[in-house]
Amino acid sequence: SLLDSLLQEIRLKTCRMIPARSLYLGSSTNARKCASLAFVPKHRETRDEDIERLSEFLSKKKNILLITGAGISTESGIPDYRSEGVGLYATSTKRPTQHKVFMERPMARQSYWARNFIGWPRWSSFEPNESHRTLAKWEDTGKISQLVTQNVDQLHYKAGSRNVVELHGTNSIVKCMSCCYYLPRMQFQRHLEEANPTMIPRVADIRPDGDVELTEQEVRHFKVPSCPKCGGILKPFVVFFGDNVPRPRVEQVRRKVNESDSLLVIGSSLHVFSAFRFINQAVENKIPIGIINIGP
C-alpha cells in the first residue's frame, strides 16, 4: 500500500511525533554505507513502536498538509545546510548569498552566477527518490490536501506531484527584478554559455542552493547578462536568505492549514520562520502535528 511504501522509507530515518508536545524517539546507530547517503547524517534506526505510532497517526487522517525540507532530498544527492557532519554549515565556511548583497553588489552577482553556471548541469540532473515518489502517489489518492516544500529543486514535480507550493520559489526560473521578463533557467544557461565561451561546466561538489565553490580567478572574468527587455538585474526565482516569502504565498498556505486535519513535516529542522509559522498556526488550531526528521 502507499502507507506501507512510505513507512518502509521511514524505517531508514529517525522519527519524532508531536501531538501537541515534543517527544523524542530514537535507538541504535545506523551504519549503512551507500553513495546515495553521502549527505545523510549519522542517525539511529527507528524502532518498530515508532513506525506503529506513525502508522496510527496517518491512518486516521484524510486531509494532511505536508511540509518538506532539504532532508527529503539528501538521498537524491543534494546536501542540506544544517545536517551534522555533512551539511554545508559543517563542511564549509561559505554561506548562502544574501538578498541584499545580491541586489546591491555587481561582484556578488558575478560570483553567484559563475558558481551557479558550473553547478547547473549536475543540479538539473538530480532525480527524485522514493520519498518524493510516495508523496506523489499520496496526492493521487487525495490523502494530501496540500504539499508545501521549502526546497527549490523541483524534485516533487519530477516525481509527479502537481499540487505543490514552493515556499522559497524555484531554481528553474530566472526573473528580472525590474520588469515582468522571465525565462527558464535551462535557457539562461545557454545565454551564459554564449557570454562565457571559455568557461566550461565541470563536475564539482554541489552545494544546497545549486552552486559550487570557485576561485576568484575563475569568477573575475565571468560575464552576466542583464535583462534584454529593460536592462535590469536577473535573479533566480528564489527567496534568498534575508528576503521574505511573498505574502500571497504565505496566505495560501495559511488557508490550507485551516482546512487540514493534520500537519506532517518531513526532512526539516524548522529553523527558519518561513515554515515554522505554520507549526505555530497548527498548534493554535489544535491540529495534530507529526515530524519525521534526523536530529532536532
Catalytic site positions: 168
Find where cell 565556511 sits: 93
- Please give the distance of CA 256 from its chain centroid, rounded to a whole number: 20
Q: Cell for 206?
A: 554541489
Report whether 19 contacts 26 (CB < 8 A). no
Return the number of other C-beta atoms located less than 10 Å from residue 21's C-beta: 7
Report whether 225 contacts 216 (CB < 8 A). no
Contacts of 92 (CB under 8 A, 6+ apart): 207, 213
Q: Cell for 161?
A: 506531484
Which amino acid type is present at position 50? D
d(CA 42, CA 46): 13
Put residue 84 in one of left, alpha, beta given phi > 0 → left and psi -120 to 50 → alpha. beta
Which amino acid type is present at position 156? H
